[in-house]
Amino acid sequence: MFHLVAEDPTVALDELQAARITSWLLELIPARSCRVRREPVVEITITGHYPADFHLPLLRRVEEIAGCRFSLSVVDG
């Protein structure tokens, strides 16, 4: 499991942005789930996928949809 955390703590996502990110990620990576917290601080939790396989173009697309930069945080266990 890993998290993508918005670098700008003031950013919030609307429902459409969250739905686009969720459906887009689940379509392109073999994850079990993708949860998007829309309110500051925006956080995307991806389970069932290895962060090493989460390539830069995927991150850039998420950032484009959200309108902000994200950092990747790996969760052990």
DSSP 51: G
Mean pLDDT score of the chain: 91
Task: Enter the tokens of residue 43.
Answer: 């956080």
Name the band, by pLDDT with cuts 50, 70 and 90, for residue 70. very high
Domains of the chain (ranges, CATH numbers): 2-74 (3.30.70)
* pLDDT tens digits, 20-50: 999 999 998 888 899 999 998 999 999 987 7
Q: Facing residues of 46 across strands?
A: 2, 34
How far are the Cα atoms of 11, 77 from residue 71, in angstroms, in the given order?
14, 20
> What is the share, in percent, of the chain residues with pLDDT greater than 90?
66
Task: Enter the tokens of residue 54.
Answer: 């989460």
Name the strand (E) or helix (H) holding 47. strand 43-47
Cis peptide before 75 (omega within 30 of 0): no
